């Protein structure tokens, strides 16, 4: 049997960068080398470090949704909880305390106490290691959250509605209250996001609804704020962007042609990469383009608000590819965001019957053609910013596939 895979190592920050570039490779290697198909095992730290009390361990909080999404996939594969070997010594107490107060162990374990998140039994671990933890001043809002279509009988409640649109409306309203309760204080306490608090709440509720309704999996989120920045991530282990777009019924509009951007960019892409990686990357751009044309605010609006209005970073990962959007693309983004505002206004005008359906279709089709050209320009600009040193690249490409869709945002607290 292979050695357990350590989550954290001395002097290494368990960040999303480390997760994608190191941790996923370790997991992949485990399966390549394990000929007996044993259930994969994890450990908090490297086993031989158990007696070393001077080590330094770090976890970037917003990496936890990524870890749980991955572990949930592996649990489904093995059809059993994954062993997680804990260690409680002077060096690990701070990390254990953070994970405990963030409800990590409640959510991934076998908790049945309704005071805390009901456990999903993703990991199995010895709870005795969670005693005598350090007291810290961790904010009560710094919690790992899990959302599921199976919670509070949601899967049955939405069956009462006669259309997918009404089911969606119900879930968005449900999650809007949840998001406000979970993240409202953190968003309002950041001077960058304060004025956009309700905008972010609406968008996050929409993204969580997308995750649980269309991905076929649960969605996990965490928002964290310190004196430097507010950051959050949303992660699911579902079918990915390409399959999700394939399943969408777009027959009721005349302005979005499915996979049009995908096919155009395939001709323009000069990166020498495998078809699987290329498809993962192009599906990201297709999704952002589709998001830009919709009546509901979603990924595109989140990206623009984060980068333009908050001077932050937006990262979107899909299976084998990730894009990183920052103010390096500010000029192209501002142009697109202005076009997006016009499209939203058109949808509102139709909703409130300020224009006829015929006028709406004529205008939005015209806008969609203009937007397509601008969007392709942005995508090509991002292609040109690809660098083999992933720390400085706007595109990151990975040989190891990580199922689902994963969004990360970082917003500085002070301009």
Distance CA 93, CA 90 (A): 6
Distances in Å between the alpha carbon of 183 and those of 25, 220, 269, 270, 309? Answer: 32, 13, 38, 41, 19
**121 with 159, same domain?**
no
**225 with 359, same domain?**
yes
Domain boundary, last residue among 125, 142, 177 = 125
Domain boundary, last residue among 108, 125, 142 = 125
Give the DSSP per-residue string, 73-103: HHHHHHTSPEEEE---STTTHHHHHHHHHTT
Distance CA 26, CA 18 (A): 11
**244 with 393, same domain?**
yes
Nearest to 411 by CA among 145, 233, 162: 233
**119 with 221, same domain?**
no
**335 with 202, same domain?**
yes
For residue 228, give both structure tokens.
Answer: 């430097």
Domain range for 368 = 152-414
Q: What is the pTM of this model?
A: 0.95
Residue 145, in any domain of the structure: no
Residue 108, in any domain of the structure: yes
Nearest to 354 by CA among 341, 345, 365: 345
**181 with 313, same domain?**
yes
pLDDT at 385: 83
Residue 285, in any domain of the structure: yes
Residue 352, in any domain of the structure: yes
Residue 143, in any domain of the structure: no
| Number of C-beta neighbours around residue 63 at 10 A | 23
Tell which phi-psi region holds residue 79, choosing left (phi > 0), alpha (psi between -120 and 50) or beta.
left
Nearest to 122 by CA among 101, 146, 143, 141: 146
Per-residue model confidence as pLDDT tens digits over 289-314: 999 999 999 999 999 999 999 999 99
**90 with 171, same domain?**
no
pLDDT at 111: 87
Per-residue model confidence as pLDDT tens digits over 231-242: 999 999 999 999
**225 with 156, same domain?**
yes
Tallying the residues shown for the chain, one arrives at 415
Nearest to 302 by CA among 200, 191, 378: 200
Residues 304, 337: contact at Cβ < 8 Å?
Answer: yes
**74 with 196, same domain?**
no
Residue 147, in any domain of the structure: no
**167 with 286, same domain?**
yes
Distance CA 108, CA 122 (A): 5
Over pLDDT 90: what percentage of the chain?
76
The domain total for the chain is 2
Residue 103, in any domain of the structure: yes
Residue 280, in any domain of the structure: yes
Distance CA 388, CA 376 (A): 22
* pLDDT tier at 51, thresholds 50, 70, 90: low
Distance CA 202, CA 296 (A): 9
Per-residue model confidence as pLDDT tens digits over 153-163: 899 999 999 88
**83 with 171, same domain?**
no
Domain boundary, last residue among 125, 144, 167 = 125
Per-residue model confidence as pLDDT tens digits over 254-282: 899 999 999 999 999 988 899 999 999 99
For residue 13, give both structure tokens.
Answer: 């920050």
């Amino acid at each position: 049997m292979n050695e357990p895979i350590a989550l954290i190592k001395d002097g290494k920050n368990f960040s999303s960068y480390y997760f994608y570039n190191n941790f996923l490779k370790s997991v992949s290697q485990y399966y390549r080398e394990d000929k007996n198909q044993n259930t994969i095992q994890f450990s908090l730290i490297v086993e031989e470090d158990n007696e070393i009390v001077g080590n330094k361990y770090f976890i970037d909080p917003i990496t936890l949704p990524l870890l749980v999404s991955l572990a949930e996939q592996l649990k489904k594969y093995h059809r059993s909880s994954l062993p997680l070997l804990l260690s409680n010594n002077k060096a690990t107490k701070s990390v254990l305390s953070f994970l405990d107060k963030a409800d990590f162990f409640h959510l991934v374990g076998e908790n049945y106490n309704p005071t805390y998140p009901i456990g999903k039994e993703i990991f199995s671990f010895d709870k005795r290691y969670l005693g005598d933890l350090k007291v810290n001043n961790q904010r009560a809002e710094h919690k790992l959250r899990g959302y599921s279509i199976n919670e509070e009988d949601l899967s049955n409640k939405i069956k009462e509605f006669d259309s997918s649109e009404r089911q969606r409306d119900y879930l968005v309203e449900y999650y809007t209250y949840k998001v406000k309760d979970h993240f409202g204080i953190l968003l309002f306490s950041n001077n960058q996001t304060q004025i956009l608090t309700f905008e972010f709440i609406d968008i996050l509720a929409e993204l969580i609804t997308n995750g649980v309704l269309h991905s076929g999996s649960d969605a996990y989120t965490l928002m964290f704020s310190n004196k430097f920045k507010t950051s959050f991530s949303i992660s699911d282990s579902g079918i990915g962007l390409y399959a999700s777009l394939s399943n969408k019924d777009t027959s009721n509009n005349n302005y979005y042609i499915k996979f049009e951007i995908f096919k155009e960019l395939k001709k323009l892409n000069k990166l020498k990469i495998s078809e699987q990686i290329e498809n993962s990357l192009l599906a990201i751009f297709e999704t952002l383009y589709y998001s830009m044309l919709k009546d509901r605010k979603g990924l595109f609006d989140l990206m623009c608000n984060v980068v333009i209005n908050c001077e932050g970073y937006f990262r979107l990962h899909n299976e084998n590819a990730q894009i990183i959007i920052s103010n390096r693309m500010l000029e192209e983004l501002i142009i697109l965001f202005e076009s997006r505002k016009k499209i939203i206004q058109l949808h509102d005008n139709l909703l409130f019957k300020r224009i006829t359906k015929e006028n709406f279709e004529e205008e939005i089709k015209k806008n969609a053609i203009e937007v397509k050209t601008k969007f392709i320009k942005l995508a090509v600009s991002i292609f040109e910013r690809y660098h083999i040193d992933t720390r400085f690249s706007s595109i990151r490409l990975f040989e190891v596939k990580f199922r689902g869709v994963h969004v990360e945002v970082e917003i500085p607290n002070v301009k």
